[in-house]
Amino acid sequence: MTSPPRIAVLVPCRNEAATVASVVADFSAALPGCTVHVYDNGSNDGTADVARRAGAIVRSEPRPGKGGVVRRMLGEIDADVYVIVDGDATYDAASAPRMVDELVVNDLDMVTAIRDEQGGGAAYRRGHRLGNRAFNALLGTLFGVRPSDMLSGYRVLSRRFAKSFPAASRGFEIETELTVHALAQRLPTTEIRTPYFERPAGSQSKLSTYRDGSRILRMTVSLYRDERPLSFFGIFALAFCAVGLVLGGSVVVEYMETHLVPRFPTAILATGLMLLSFLSLACGLILHNVARGQREMKRLAYLAASSSDAEAHRAAGSPVTTPIAR
């Protein structure tokens, strides 16, 4: 007999006393038998007490930053399926069963909710909407696959994904890191459109359009450098080489005509740029091999988590599914 998967709903919260009770109640009703975990990230409005009274398991993470909270959640909580959702009551709990079924039935590693604004488009601030579209396009350009909503805070993860995900971000960059990790490791994922609601009265967004946007941009560039170092440093090598050829070409032509080098500063600059070009290319080649080794280590961690999942299924008498390499 197949046992149902253990579902953990993870709710990182900071000053969400006005909404966290409804989030806990809605997800408990939508996913019968799930366990709702609320991690209080230094709230000063009684969020932890409200969540505890609503029936959630409450823990505290005093260090600020959503990324650190999610990293701790995935490390401490053991489950078969992880539902990550914000505590602001903007995401649709009724969509959770459909997302979980999609993950389990198709043996996926991540299902991302594409936010479909309700209520005339008031849920999204204009800057957030434009920034999300820009980052989606940037990620598509850098990694070849354009997500529909890379900054969505509503995701369902498999256990093997959660236990092999090397989270490093501290703030709202965590969504970017989740998306890039899945793309870089070629993990089976999908996206589902779900309703997205305006924040209830008394609830305020913690996301700063410019400050957090700049952090997300830095994280995206950093992840591209780490995952695709040859392409990253190759861009610099090509730029240095192009400028060096433009500056040095005229010096070479003059020397061939007059056998003199009248513009020594230009010649020295062109030589330095060509050296930087070769140095950038060498860095890219070296780091390319390092990145390949890191990808292999992540893959081994993923396979180890898959093996532990298989053992757990056998012990429970459930059918074993094997992840498909893609």
**Mean per-residue pLDDT for 67-95?**
92
The one-character DSSP state at 277 is H
Residue 1 lies in a domain: no
Using the predicted structure, report yes or no on whether residue 164 has a pLDDT greater than 70.
Answer: yes
Report the alpha-carbon distance of residue 66 to residue 42 in Å, rounded.
11
**Token representation of residue 96:** 């959770």
Number of folded domains that form the chain? 2
| Mean pLDDT value across the chain | 86
Phi and psi angles of residue 259, each rounded to the nearest 5 degrees, phi first = 60, 25
**Mean per-residue pLDDT for 213-242?**
91
Q: Are residues 247 and 323 in the same domain?
A: yes
Using the predicted structure, report yes or no on whether residue 62 has a pLDDT greater than 90.
Answer: no
**Mean per-residue pLDDT for 284-309?**
87
Q: Are residues 182 and 197 in the same domain?
A: yes
Q: Across-strand partners of 11?
A: 38
Q: Are residues 197 and 257 in the same domain?
A: no
Distance from chain centroid for Cα 274: 36
Residue 2 lies in a domain: no
Q: Is 31 helix (H, G, I), strand (E, B) or coil?
A: coil
Q: Are residues 118 and 199 in the same domain?
A: yes
| Long-range pairs of 26-29 with CB within 8 A, sequence gap ≥ 24 | 26/89, 26/93, 26/94, 27/83, 27/85, 27/93, 27/96, 28/55, 29/93
Using the predicted structure, report yes or no on whether residue 261 has a pLDDT greater than 80.
Answer: no
Q: Mean pLDDT: which of 18-27, 213-222, 259-268 is highest?
A: 18-27
Residue 284 lies in a domain: yes
What pLDDT score does 117 carry? 79
**Mean per-residue pLDDT for 281-286?**
95
Q: Are residues 27 and 80 in the same domain?
A: yes
Residue 277 domain boundaries: 228-326
Q: Compute the CA torsion angle 161, 162, 166, 170 (nearest 10 deg).
A: 130
> Which pairing describes strands 81-84 and 7-13: parallel, antiparallel, or unpaired?
parallel
For residue 326, name the pLDDT band (cuts at 50, 70, 90): very low
Report the alpha-carbon distance of residue 323 to residue 160 in Å, rounded.
9
